[in-house]
Amino acid sequence: MLRPMRTPAALHLDYLSLAEYQAAGWSDVLGVATFNGLPQSRAGSAEVPIAQVSTPVLAGSEHVYEVWRCGQPATSGQRQRVHFRRTEDMLFGCIAVTEKEAHADMTHSALHQATTQAYRQICATLDAESYPHLLRVWNYLPDINVDAEGSERYRQFNTARQDALRASGRALRGNVPAASALGAPSDSPVVVYFLAGRTAPTFVENPRQVSAYHYPREYGSHHPVFSRAALLRQPEGLTLFISGTASIVGHRSLHIGDTAAQTRETLTNIAALIAEANRVAPGARFELGALACKVYVRRPADLPVIRAELASALGERATVIYLQADICRQDLLVEIEATAMCPLEADA
Ligand code: 3EB
């Protein structure tokens, strides 16, 4: 396949099948997330942090490997449970914590404790390694919609995430990373993986949506801490990290029970975010048709409907993978996250 010329030092993302993954070079891999796959450690990969997410892969191959490349030398490390790999300007890291080992106490559920442990260790790593700015965070929580010990588990996660970020001295609104938070099978660990930088990215909000950090309290006593998108500027190019996006306008879920309409509304939200990024970022020319998308489908039977909507909205150039995952509001049937890349002219 003919690929657009890749500028060597800019961040780059590929979604690979097992065979492609096994054939791929390792020299500039910063980090990997596997979906329903095994770590497949091979010569050269031993040092690369690999987040193992157990969400089932829908359609196409059984396994998906999300490979982040940095096009420059990188060094690996570990601090407590966080495995990481870093370049001069950015760091990829991952951590998995089981609820069994996290120990509930009188006031906090095991999920709260596991989340706290993950975020404390992430923040401590970023502070110690001097990459203070979280750019993008992916969160996978078992049984995300289940009510347990008096509240929904997604809300327990939100409380713990917010408390841990506050305790580390980080912002809770405004300058907060792009993120996704999805369900995972029961008994899987809480898995968090992330990208962080030495300099602050530009955070982008969606004019059609209330910022998640301003959601009213009906969605939980502790608001979610994420931006709708984060924009990384490197000398060679721009990367737009689009958070998990759903059929939410204002702060309300729309098109209850209508998967096709939810998918269209979600794509309209993503188009609005891209337009907003192009408006605020000098030199940005992101295109809906050139995204790399990860689509989370609550009910596998909805896959054909969702796929048809994406095909008509995105065309054939976009890269799309489909995973089965529960979404953090019961009434949402689909959620889409995306990464967009755009090269910069050398003299821009
Ligand atoms: C939403 O827009 C849908 O809690 O980190 C999307 C992306 C969602 C990230 C998070 C939640 C999160 O509110 C849910």
* Rounded distance between C-alpha atoms, residue 114 and residue 27, angstroms: 33
Q: Are 181 and 154 in contact (CB under 8 A)?
A: yes
CA atoms within 13 A on the CB side of 227: 23
User: Which residue's CA is the closest to the ligand 1 atom numbered 6?
Assistant: 244
348 CA to middle of ligand 1, Å?
A: 34
Angstrom distance (rounded) from CA 342 to CA 6:
10
Separation of CA 13 and ligand 1 centre (Å): 22
Distance CA 183, CA 325 (A): 5
**pLDDT value for 184:** 97
CA of 112 to the centre of ligand 1 (A): 17
Q: What order of strands is seen across the sheet that includes strand 50-53?
A: 12-16, 64-69, 29-35, 50-53
Please give the pLDDT value at position 348: 45
Output the CA 105–ligand 1 centroid distance in Å: 27
- pLDDT score of 1: 42
Bridge partners of 324, per DSSP, are 297
Nearest CA to ligand 1 atom 13: 212
| Of residues 239, 293, 303, the one with CA closest to residue 71 | 239
Residue bearing tokens 């780059």:
12
Mutate to test the pocket of ligand 1, among 136, 180, 330 (most ligand atoms within 8 A of CB): 180
Q: For residue 231, what are its two tokens?
A: 């924009």
> Closest ligand 1 atom, CA of 219?
13
Is the Cα dihedral 237, 316, 339, 14 positive or negative? negative
* Residue whose CA is at the smallest distance from ligand 1 atom 9: 180
Q: Which of 134, 254, 296, 328 to mutate to test the pocket of ligand 1 (most atoms within 8 A of CB)?
A: 328
Give the ranges where 38-178 is alpha helix by DSSP (H). Answer: 99-102, 110-129, 153-167
Predicted confidence pLDDT, tens digits, the chain (348 residues): 444 444 457 899 999 988 888 888 888 999 999 998 776 665 567 789 999 999 999 987 688 999 999 999 899 999 999 999 999 999 999 999 999 999 888 889 999 999 999 999 999 999 999 999 999 999 999 999 999 988 999 999 999 999 999 999 999 999 999 999 999 999 999 999 999 999 999 999 999 999 999 999 999 999 999 999 999 999 999 999 999 999 999 999 999 999 999 999 999 999 999 999 999 999 999 999 999 999 999 999 999 999 999 999 999 999 999 999 999 999 999 999 999 999 987 654
Which of 226, 253, 334 gets mutated to test ligand 1 (max ligand atoms within 8 A of its CB)? 226
pLDDT attached to residue 25:
85
For residue 78, the CA-to-ligand 1 centroid distance in Å is 28
> Does 276 participate in catalysis according to the annotation?
no
Alpha carbons 348 and 335: distance in angstroms, whole number: 35
| Predicted pLDDT of residue 7 | 46
Residue 126 contacts residue 91 (beta carbons within 8 Å): yes
Residues 6+ apart with CB under 8 A from 51: 31, 32, 33, 34, 94, 96, 138, 191, 192, 193
164: Cα separation from own chain's centroid = 19
State the DSSP code for 173. Answer: S
Q: Which atom of ligand 1 is nearest to the CA of 332?
A: 3
* pLDDT in the model for residue 2: 45
* Residue 311 to residues 12, 101, 304, 333, Cα–Cα distance (Å): 23, 43, 10, 18
CA torsion angle for 243, 249, 253, 254 (degrees, to 10)? -120
Q: Give me the pLDDT at residue 346, please.
A: 62
Ligand 1 pocket, CB under 6 A: 139, 179-181, 212, 224, 226, 243-244, 246, 248, 328
- d(CA 332, CA 194) in angstroms, rounded, equals 24
Nearest CA among 222, 238, 203, 211 for reference residue 133: 203
Kindly give the residue spans of alpha helices, DSSP state H, lying in the chain. 18-23, 99-102, 110-129, 153-167, 259-280, 303-314
Query: How many A from CA of 71 to the centre of ligand 1?
Result: 30
Among residues 66, 99, 205, 335, the one annotated as catalytic is 335
The pLDDT of residue 23: 87
- Non-local CB neighbours of 113 within 8 Å, separated by 6+ positions: 99, 102, 103, 104, 105, 160
How much is the pTM?
A: 0.96
